[in-house]
């Protein structure tokens, strides 16, 4: 029996969550180091999976398959393709930085006001590990129902992280801050639960279709794909389209895609900066990943049928998110709307259905995770020092904290996809892939780049340059722990900006498999006939 590497990669943070939660209440520092140790162990196993994955080998590797509930065709099936193994590695990479950045976010409040509560440090770090376990299993699951379970289960720890651990730089009092946190957490949960319930109906419908045509119902992705390829499973066009819409709706909420995005600015704005990174750089990636794994592979005809509408929605997300970011006064909400715009680019690349577009979209998921983590975490350090997240309360930071300002600038430049930084390559591939099939959409999408330059540079100018504002004079520069968080992320942005080949070599074979599933090839350039 081979070593269950994928199970262990997900089990380590799950066990770590239990162990961390069990640490005695007074031993908060022990709880932090325990959680960090388990996150680093998860990173080691994810790195081993990445090294063991052979891009030229089978489509799904490191597979595990065990009977679960035979009567209902449920199996514990795990496996990773090139896209999944990269996403698992990204998740495992970011969690230690999230923990280090939030090292003091759940410490007891020093204010003796009895109306203020003490923050359960053990619970904060245990919940982060639990989210990591659920996300990793979502990337690994090749049984549709198993995926659905973890897709929904991750909502519970995220709900408590958003509602129970908001940042302390709220413009209102503690009561108002608690009300806003509660609203953001409930909105996050209701939106995603609604999407999940619709997906559940589609999952059940898929099982009924397979039971009717194959004699035995199945949720196995690989069995369904094999049956469709051999002609044993032929889903009626109208049925396939309804099933596709059920899956896509849930993923579009999670991604998030306009007009289902409105929960994201609230959730990110009211969360601590590390939890905001967890939302947009880790959890939301499950939505775009699932579009590639399930929507395109299970429902190829319906994916092509819906592509024109989805591309328009993605284009609206790009422009709308960027315009809203330009007008924001709150630093974290600005980054949230910028993420809405970036997810629009990812979805645009996926449904352009070209090799460049989908390779760019997958690379974008990785690069957006790193760049948003860098920008948001530095923004969190900035907000903590000032006690405010309003842009108007900052000014002249670069004069008193030049390293903080410099790292903030690099994170911002990565967000606007400056050449030489990692997001540029992925955004360029998305635009090239889109333009080759939909030139008008590709041209309009470039407006998002112009707007990104506007909101990032204006943000930097208003917060970091000019005269030093009141409250900024004594601001300290980044400390050793904070530099340990930011430096590796910036190094990755620079490395992948000039040399993305290690990632593209892994994901490209999976992209070609996906295009083959939807029977799409790259459009050939039209050549004028020689006179």
**What integer pLDDT is reported at residue 39 of this predicted model?**
97
**What integer pLDDT is reported at residue 431 of this predicted model?**
94
Long-range own/partner contacts, residues 443-447 (CB < 8 A, 24 or more apart): 444/315, 444/319, 445/315, 445/318, 445/345, 445/348, 447/318, 447/319, 447/322
As a whole number of Å, the end-to-end CA separation of the chain is 66
**What integer pLDDT is reported at residue 519 of this predicted model?**
76
Q: Do residues 402 and 472 make contact, with C-beta atoms less than 8 angstroms apart? A: no
Q: Which domain holds residue 168?
A: 5-107+118-517
Whether 187 maps to a domain, the answer reads yes
Q: What is the pTM of this model?
A: 0.91
Whether 349 maps to a domain, the answer reads yes
Q: Say which residues have a Cβ less than 8 Å from residue 14's Cβ, sequence separation at least 6.
A: 129, 130, 133
Task: Count other Cβ atoms within 10 Å, centred on residue 378.
Answer: 28
User: Which of 352, 351, 346, 510 has its CA nearest to residue 436?
Assistant: 352
Quote the number of domains for the chain.
1
Whether 25 maps to a domain, the answer reads yes
Whether 525 maps to a domain, the answer reads no
Whether 522 maps to a domain, the answer reads no
**What integer pLDDT is reported at residue 170 of this predicted model?**
61
Whether 82 maps to a domain, the answer reads yes
CA geometry: angle 229, 61, 502, nearest 5 deg: 110
Q: What is the mean pLDDT of each run of 10 residues along the chain (531 residues)?
A: 88 96 89 96 96 92 87 86 94 96 77 47 93 96 94 93 77 72 91 93 92 85 86 88 95 92 90 92 93 92 94 95 92 93 94 92 94 93 88 90 94 92 93 92 92 92 90 88 94 94 92 84 63 43
Question: Could you give the 3-state DSSP secondary structure of residue 102?
Answer: coil
Q: Do residues 10 and 133 make contact, with C-beta atoms less than 8 angstroms apart? A: yes
Whether 208 maps to a domain, the answer reads yes
Q: Do residues 378 and 334 make contact, with C-beta atoms less than 8 angstroms apart? A: no
Can you give 338-403 as a three-state secondary structure string? HHHHHHHHHHHHHHHCCHHHHHHHHHHHHHHHHHHHHHHHHHHHHHHHHCCCEHHHCCCHHHHCHH
As a whole number of angstroms, the distance between CA 16 and CA 53 comes to: 25
Q: Which H or E run contains 315?
A: helix 300-326
Measure Cα distances from 213 to 231, 233, 235, 242, 297 in Å. 11, 6, 9, 18, 18
Whether 523 maps to a domain, the answer reads no
């Amino acid at each position: 029996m081979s070593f269950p590497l994928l199970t262990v990669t997900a089990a380590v943070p799950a066990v770590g969550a239990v162990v961390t939660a069990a640490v005695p209440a007074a031993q908060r520092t022990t709880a932090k180091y325990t959680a960090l140790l388990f996150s680093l162990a998860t990173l080691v196993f994810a790195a081993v999976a990445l090294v063991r994955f052979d891009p030229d080998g089978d489509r799904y590797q490191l597979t595990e398959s065990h009977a679960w509930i035979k009567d209902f065709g449920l199996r514990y099936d795990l496996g990773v393709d090139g896209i999944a193994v990269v996403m698992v590695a990204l998740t495992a990479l970011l969690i230690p930085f999230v923990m280090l950045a939030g090292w003091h976010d759940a410490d007891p409040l020093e204010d003796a006001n009895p109306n203020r509560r003490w923050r359960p440090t053990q619970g904060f770090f245990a919940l982060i590990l639990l989210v990591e376990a659920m996300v990793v299993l979502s990337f690994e699951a090749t049984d549709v129902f198993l995926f659905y379970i973890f897709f929904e289960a991750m909502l519970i720890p995220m709900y408590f992280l958003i509602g129970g651990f908001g940042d302390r730089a709220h413009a209102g009092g503690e009561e108002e801050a608690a009300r806003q946190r509660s609203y953001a957490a409930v909105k996050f949960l209701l939106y995603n639960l609604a999407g999940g319930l619709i997906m559940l109906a589609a999952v059940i419908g898929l099982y009924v279709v397979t039971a009717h045509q194959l004699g035995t119902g199945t949720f196995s992705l690989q069995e369904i794909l094999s049956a469709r390829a051999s002609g044993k499973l032929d889903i009626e066009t109208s049925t396939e389209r309804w099933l596709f819409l059920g899956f896509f709706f849930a993923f579009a909420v999670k991604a998030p895609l306009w007009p289902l995005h409105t929960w994201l600015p609230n959730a990110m704005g009211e969360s601590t900066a590390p939890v905001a990174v967890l939302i947009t750089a880790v959890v939301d990636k499950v939505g775009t990943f699932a579009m590639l794994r399930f929507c395109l592979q299970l429902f190829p005809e319906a994916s092509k049928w819906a592509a024109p509408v989805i591309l328009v929605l993605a284009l609206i997300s790009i422009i709308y998110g960027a315009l809203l970011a330009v007008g924001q006064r709150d630093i974290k909400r600005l980054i949230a709307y910028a993420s809405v715009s970036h997810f629009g680019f990812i979805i645009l690349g996926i449904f352009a259905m070209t090799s460049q577009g989908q390779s760019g979209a997958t690379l974008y998921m990785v690069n957006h995770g790193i760049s948003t983590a860098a920008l948001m975490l530095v923004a969190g350090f900035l907000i903590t020092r000032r006690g405010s997240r309003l842009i108007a309360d900052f000014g002249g930071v670069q004069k008193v904290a030049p390293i903080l300002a410099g790292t903030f600038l690099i994170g911002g430049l990565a967000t606007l996809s400056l050449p030489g930084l990692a997001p540029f390559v992925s955004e360029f591939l998305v635009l090239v892939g889109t333009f080759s099939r939909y030139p008008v959409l590709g041209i309009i999408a470039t407006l998002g780049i112009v707007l990104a330059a506007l909101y990032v540079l204006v943000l930097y100018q208003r917060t970091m340059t000019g005269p030093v504002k009141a409250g900024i004079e004594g601001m300290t520069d980044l400390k050793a722990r904070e530099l340990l968080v930011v430096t590796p992320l910036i190094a990755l942005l620079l490395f992948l900006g000039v040399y993305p080949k290690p990632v593209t070599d892994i994901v490209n074979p999976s992209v070609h498999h996906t295009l083959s599933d939807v029977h799409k090839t790259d459009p050939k350039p039209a050549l004028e006939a020689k006179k």
